[in-house]
Chain A
Amino acid sequence: MSWIDIGALDDIPERGARMVRTRAGCVALFRTGATEVFATSNTCAHKGGPLAEGIVHGRKVTCPLHNWVYSLETGEAQGADEGRIATYPVRIEDGRILIDGDAIGKRSAA
């Protein structure tokens, strides 16, 4: 794994999200707690809604366009909706957020 520093933890408000642009597409980073961050694809599997603009609750996010709800842990759509978004390894070190460059690279290669 090659960890890439993408910003400070405090750049994302608690229960908020930010977006990171990668060559392969946009990745959303969700801060679900004081020291908990998840990374997934920013694009809703339904109609491409920007997930980083959604409301973050528990370890889930609700798409702002049509209220699809995703688990940030598995990327699976919840409830009646069927679909999945990619998830990426991410960790926090000394107040910085690191994302796995290989995982994003794999995606860009695909």
Chain B
Amino acid sequence: MEKLVVIGAGMASGRLLEHLINAAPDRFEVTLFNAEPRGNYNRIMLSPVLSGEKSYAEIVTHDDDWYQAHGVTCRFGERVAHIDRDRKVVVGARGEVPYDKLVIATGSDPFIVPCPGHDLDGVIAYRDLDDTNRMIDQAPGSRAVVIGGGLLGLEAAAGLRLRGMEVTVLHLAGHLMERQLDPAAGYLLRADLERRGITVMTQASTKCIRGDGSVEAVELEDGTLLPADLVVMAVGIRPAVALAKDAGLSVGRAIEVDAQMQTSDPHVFAVGECVEFAGQLFGLVAPLYDQAKVLAATLLGEDAAFAPKQLSTKLKVTGCDLFSAGDFTDAPGREDIVYRDPARGIYKRLVVEDDRLVGAVMYGDTADGNWFFGLIKDGTDVSDMRETLIFGPAYQGGAAADPMAAVAALPADAEICGCNGVCKGRIVEAIEGGATDLGAVRATTKASASCGTCTGLVEQVLAATLGDAFAVPAAQPVCGCTDLSHEDVRRLIKSQELKSQPAVWQELGWRTPNGCHVCRPALNFYLLADWPLEYRDDPQSRFVNERKHANIQKDGTFSVVPRMWGGVTTAAELRAIADAAEKYDVPTVKVTGGQRIDLLGVKGEDLPHIWADLNAAGLVSGHAYSKGLRTVKTCVGTDHCRFGTQDSTGLGIRLEKRLWGSWTPHKVKLAVSGCPRNCAEATCKDVGIVCVDSGFEIGVGGAAGMDVKEVERLAKVATEDEAVEWTVAFVQLYREHARYLDRPYKWLGKVGLDWVKDTLSDAAARTALVARFDLSQTVYQSDPWAELSTRDRARGFAPLADLTLEAAE
């Protein structure tokens, strides 16, 4: 048998041995040296071990039994002192081993920044199991500083944070993972990490590590002092080449090999991170495995050649979803295709050069990563699918309908904007008169300036009239005060922790001193939804209905709707309503579609008084005016109905009592039907629950207004408690993510029901959403009628002065 000696039991040499043993089990007598006192384990999976998601036993690739079964002599925990190529022996600490063929697989060493204090106790690298255990042993609550914001550093930081430590990441470049990500994706990654409680400092240069014997603090060049109990250096790796160099092998940046993995000595080979091939070094596992396969063939006397391939990267931090592949640096002749969905934290960027995809960066949704990676590797011509390329493989193939053709064919007198009665001809006229964008068309014709549903149509008229001169904007700005979209603003309010309207105006560069009637209500909602405890609701930023807690009518009077929980009332309540209607000369009393009674035509100054009267009878505001929970409509359920399967009335009342008073992006209407006959019309509500014998079917995204839509199934649950939990969690998710004035069905159309289902099917996420909703309710679930009908507050509803009396004197 030939004598094969392998130095280093890492992932590359482990794979090499597997190939050799499979192909020719009796060909070699193998001796395996390893400086670490253990065999081969999956080093890539150290991060899950650090975070506690896996144990060491789970990541061992080859255990003692495996080596024994295959006749491998293991010399673990023994350093190799040198290689004597003349005598063809490897000299270990415990004796020599002769070889016919030698494989050097010494891998790499972590690079330690040689700053003062780098040798203090508590400064470690992140490279092997010992480092990992050192981090695991650190007490929760202690402070760690991770130097290096690349793949390894961030995985270490996330793991340490999960272990309950206070973690700060220092990174020299302007954004994280600058070799794999562009600044936009780096920003999203940073925001994600910060949400987990990790502090990230970029452009942070370490001056020294301070401490007396062991680490106490890290000092930056700018003088900042960061207290630390542990410092993890994760700034990079260096090929471990000392042995090869001493042995006189040809070494550049690493051990130079040819395509057969042979070094400058025909009996000595090298594989893995310690190798340099055609000027290139290798750190990711895929090329190392390729090398192992080639080397196995070489040793067996077969033909094989190693050829480096394109690489892709994924970060192994649970919940941070990023993917990068190929080359995405800016260069002449390269074009970008960018897709952003800030509300969902999604960013995708493709780089195209000569009709071929050369790079891809994705954050938040990396499902199509491998498909893009395939296009990069294969050099596929993407010119035919360029328009829809960024949407991934699901959108390729089949002819897309051309909406432009339909708009172009419309006659000049076709009505585009129903609210303001604007026809196509008027819009075209305005465009030809110089109104070349949506804002200008709105300003001159009012088309799409009311309900906005025709915005897309108006844009298409613009595109059809102007041709290539018109670019449909990627995202509509909130209003004329800013270029930012609703999604951008929501994201920035969260990530920059903007907690007041002036903070938003200032930090996001509003062009007006204090916004306008379009942005102010939206900002007010975003701020109170994201910072329920810190932000104070601003009545001056609310539409009159929400400021006056009543619906304004066309003659300037208001309507008053008391809440009737689940649509249930009593004789006493009806009597109080009747008395109030007579006392305040209410001209119209009407039953609403949401099972309430509407008193129409109340004078503004009478509002606090009629509220006080209704309050006295136990009635509270029905919020019939709010972008918030409106009504929960119910049928009589098992109480009376012979078909009822559950207590639909009881569940409706319970939901209404839980949800009332909450502000939402748009109004929210619920219904609970006691059986599939659906008398409460639950299937066209924002949330509609249909009771069945075996439980509760929760549907979401219904509508019966400008659009008519049937709900889609969110979940089916067995108990009433679960039905309440899912409903509250759904409403909170909607509050946190939807843009202002999007009903749930519109929001679902953007984020997709699947995403909502995925999010809510995680029990922990549901619990957290419910907790955040309840926190908000501690502030906002209070009856505005009771608050505003006090003598002091009621004055605000009366005229400031009445000069008709003075003039009469």
Contact = CB atoms under 8 A, between A and B. Distances in A.
A50 to B, nearest CB: 4
Interface in B448-483: 449-450
Contact of A29 (B513, B604, B800): B800
Among B449, B552, B803, residue most surrounded by chain A Cβ atoms (within 10 Å): B803
A80 B444 contact: yes
Contact of B552 (A7, A16, A64, A104): A64
B543 interface: yes
Contact of A62 (B446, B516, B802): B516
Interface string A88-110: 00000000000000001100100
B572 interface: no
B803 A4 contact: yes
Interface string A15-34: 11011111100100100000
A106 to B, nearest CB: 13
A4 B799 contact: no
A13 to B, nearest CB: 6
A21 B517 contact: no
B556 A50 contact: yes
Contact of B803 (A15, A49, A104): A104
B648 interface: no
Contact of A64 (B520, B544, B804): B544
B540 A13 contact: yes
Contacts of B513: 58
Nearest to A5: B801
Given A13-B539, A57-B520, A67-B449, A23 B444 contact: no
Interface string A33-53: 000000000000001111001
B504 to A, nearest CB: 14
Interface string B523-561: 000000000000000011111100110001011100000
Contacts of A67: 449-450, 517
A48 B556 contact: yes
Interface string A48-73: 11100111111010101111010000
B445 interface: yes
A7 B803 CA distance: 11
Contact of B540 (A15, A66, A69, A108): A15
Contacts of B517: 54-55, 57, 62, 67, 69
Contact of A65 (B445, B514, B554): B554
A26 B804 CA distance: 10
Contacts of B409: none
A14 B555 CA distance: 26
A62 B514 CA distance: 13
B801 A20 contact: yes
A22 B803 contact: yes
A14 B540 contact: yes
Q: Interface SS of chain A: helix, strand, loop or mixed?
A: mixed
Contacts of B541: 15, 55
Nearest to A44: B556
A55 B554 contact: no
Interface residues of A, number: 40
A80 B556 contact: no
B515 A57 contact: yes
Nearest to B804: A23
A86 interface: no
Among B446, B517, B520, B604, residue most surrounded by chain A Cβ atoms (within 10 Å): B517
Nearest to B512: A58
A21 B801 contact: yes
A16 B540 contact: yes
Contacts of A20: 799-803
A79 B806 CA distance: 38
B539 A16 contact: yes
B591 interface: no
Contacts of A85: none
Among A66, A69, A105, residue most surrounded by chain B Cβ atoms (within 10 Å): A66
Nearest to A31: B540
A6 B804 contact: no
Contact of A47 (B446, B539, B554): B554
B808 interface: yes
A2 to B, nearest CB: 11
B788 to A, nearest CB: 14
B331 interface: no
A85 B165 CA distance: 64
Given A4-B806, A13-B540, A50-B556, A55 B800 contact: no
Given A22-B807, A47-B554, A55 B799 contact: no
Contacts of B799: 18-21, 26
B443 interface: yes
Contacts of A55: 516-517, 520-521, 540-543
B512 A53 contact: no
Contacts of A26: 799
A24 B541 CA distance: 30
A12 B796 CA distance: 8
Given A55-B543, A80-B444, A80-B445, A6 B552 contact: no
A53 B544 contact: yes
Contacts of A7: 800-801
A19 B515 contact: no
A29 B604 CA distance: 17
Q: Which 8 A-B pairs have the closest CB atoms?
A: A62-B517, A18-B800, A55-B517, A53-B544, A6-B801, A15-B540, A64-B544, A50-B556
Given A6-B800, A21-B802, A55-B520, 14 more contacts: A4-B803, A4-B806, A14-B540, A23-B808, A48-B555, A55-B516, A55-B540, A55-B541, A55-B542, A56-B540, A57-B520, A65-B554, A66-B450, A67-B450
14 contacts: A6-B803, A7-B800, A18-B799, A20-B800, A49-B556, A53-B604, A54-B544, A55-B521, A55-B540, A55-B541, A58-B516, A64-B543, A79-B444, A80-B443
Interface of B: 443-446, 449-450, 512-517, 520-521, 539-544, 547-548, 552, 554-556, 604, 795-796, 799-804, 806-808
Interface of A: 4, 6-7, 11-16, 18-23, 26, 29, 47-50, 53-58, 60, 62, 64-67, 69, 79-81, 104-105, 108
